[in-house]
């Protein structure tokens, strides 16, 4: 009897029980082997990432990547839950973490708990992520004490883009270091199992990684962080815009465009569908 199920003909999803990564296990990786993290929003991508990633983030970047939004601010809790369900179906090994979207946790720690509990119970994910520094420490502690693992996020925080006025890097002068270091320490002391550090100057990233006791996962930071995360579609070259901190490991945007052009040409010239793609009549014996 087969132990695999298939989401499409190129992805075999192992249906056997596998030991899943946990927030506690990720926390124990501080100073050890680098933690590999990428984003996913759909089952097939999660299945492809699962063998290679320690942590898969269902990021609120889904708003920009899949829905064409200008920022992450318009992403709803229902959207995150729907995509979270899809990702947990494909991820059997990696820890799945789901972003808490803007407006679902800032009002009070009780609001944060209600929404985070809903996210975990309705998706089967292992943790939530929320943005914010010292001002969110009490909320992080409240969630952790009630059994909800939290991945923090400091430095450049995309949900605060309307306050920043842009996506520029932070901590490029030493005068800017203090608040970011304090934010990271406060979130770690509150019980976050790890912290995403985004868009900061490399020396600051090295300082935060050395000073903070939980793993620091960099994006636009330093290779001396405890791990790295990127938006998968960015590193695969799906979009024309390429942030400075992204290395493109493929150019699937061009491949997709070429494939669509070839398909359109073959439809117009009636070379597709060909004989091998067409059903024939059954031969009925008399």
User: Could you write out the DSSP letters of every residue in 51-87?
Assistant: TT-SEEEE-TTHHHHTT--SSSTT--HHHHHHHHHHH
Query: Could you state, in order of their start, the residue ranges of all structural domains in the chain?
Result: 17-165+175-250
Going residue by residue through the chain, which has 286 residues, state the pLDDT in tens, using 9 for 90 and above. 344 444 444 554 444 444 789 999 999 999 999 999 999 999 999 999 999 999 999 999 999 999 999 999 999 999 999 999 999 999 999 999 999 999 999 999 999 999 999 999 999 999 999 999 999 999 999 999 999 999 999 998 877 766 655 566 776 888 899 999 999 999 999 999 999 999 999 999 999 999 999 999 999 999 999 999 999 999 999 988 888 889 999 999 999 999 999 999 999 999 999 999 999 999 888 7
3-state secondary structure (DSSP) of residue 221: coil
Instruction: Identify whether 198 is a catalytic site residue.
Output: yes
Residue tagged 């790295």 (tokens):
228
The structure tokens listed for 83 are 């995509």
Strand pairing partners for 170?
200
Note the CATH architecture for domain 17-165+175-250.
Alpha-Beta Barrel (3.20)
From 106, 198, 202, 233, active-site residue: 198
Distance of CA 33 to the CA centre of its chain: 20
Is 129 assigned a ligand-binding role in the annotation? yes
Given a contact cutoff of 8 angstroms between Cβ atoms, the answer to whether 133 and 189 are in contact is no
Instruction: For residues 152 and 187, give the distance between their C-alpha atoms in angstroms, rounded to a whole number.
Output: 7
Is 99 assigned a ligand-binding role in the annotation? yes
Given a contact cutoff of 8 angstroms between Cβ atoms, the answer to whether 187 and 152 are in contact is yes
- Alpha-carbon separation of residue 125 from 19, 78, 213, 256 (angstroms): 14, 15, 24, 31
**SS percent in the chain: helix, strand, coil, step 5:** 40, 15, 45
Residues in the chain: 286
Residue 209 backbone phi and psi in degrees, to 5: -60, -40
Is 33 assigned a ligand-binding role in the annotation? no
Instruction: For residues 204 and 170, give the distance between their C-alpha atoms in angstroms, rounded to a whole number.
Output: 9
Give the contacts of 187 (CB within 8 A, at least 6 positions apart): 132, 133, 134, 136, 137, 140, 152, 154, 195
Is 131 assigned a ligand-binding role in the annotation? yes
Write down the H helix ranges in 175-251: 177-190, 202-211, 232-235
pLDDT score at 164: 59
Instruction: For residues 99 and 135, give the distance between their C-alpha atoms in angstroms, rounded to a whole number.
Output: 18
pTM of the predicted structure, to 2 decimals: 0.89
Given a contact cutoff of 8 angstroms between Cβ atoms, the answer to whether 111 and 162 are in contact is no
Given a contact cutoff of 8 angstroms between Cβ atoms, the answer to whether 113 and 148 are in contact is yes
Instruction: For residues 222 and 148, give the distance between their C-alpha atoms in angstroms, rounded to a whole number.
Output: 28
């Amino acid at each position: 009897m087969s132990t695999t199920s298939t989401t499409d003909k190129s992805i075999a999803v192992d249906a056997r029980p596998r030991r899943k990564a946990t927030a506690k296990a990720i926390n124990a990786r501080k100073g050890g082997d680098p933690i590999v993290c990428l984003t996913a929003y759909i089952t097939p991508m999660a299945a492809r990432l699962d063998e290679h990633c320690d942590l898969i983030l269902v990021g609120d970047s889904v708003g920009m990547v899949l829905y064409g939004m200008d920022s992450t601010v318009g992403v709803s809790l229902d959207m995150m839950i729907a995509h979270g369900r899809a990702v947990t179906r494909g991820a059997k090994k990696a820890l799945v973490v789901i972003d808490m979207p803007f407006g679902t946790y800032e009002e009070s720690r009780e609001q944060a708990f209600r929404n985070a509990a809903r996210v975990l119970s309705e998706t089967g994910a292992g943790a939530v992520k929320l943005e914010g520094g010292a001002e969110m420490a009490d909320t992080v502690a409240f969630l952790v004490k009630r059994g909800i693992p939290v991945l923090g996020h400091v430095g450049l925080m995309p949900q605060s883009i309307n306050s920043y006025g842009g996506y520029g890097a932070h901590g490029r002068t030493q005068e800017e270091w203090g608040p970011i270091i304090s934010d990271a320490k406060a979130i770690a002391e509150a019980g976050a199992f790890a912290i995403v550090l985004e868009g900061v100057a490399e020396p600051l990233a090295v300082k935060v990684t050395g000073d903070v006791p939980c793993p620091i996962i960099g994006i636009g930071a330093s290779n001396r962080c405890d791990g790295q995360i990127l938006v998968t579609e960015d590193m695969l070259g799906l979009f024309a815009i390429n942030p400075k901190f992204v290395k493109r490991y493929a150019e699937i945007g061009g491949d997709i465009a070429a494939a669509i052009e070839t398909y359109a040409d073959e439809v117009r010239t009636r070379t597709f569908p060909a004989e091998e793609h067409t059903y024939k009549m059954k031969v009925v014996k008399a």
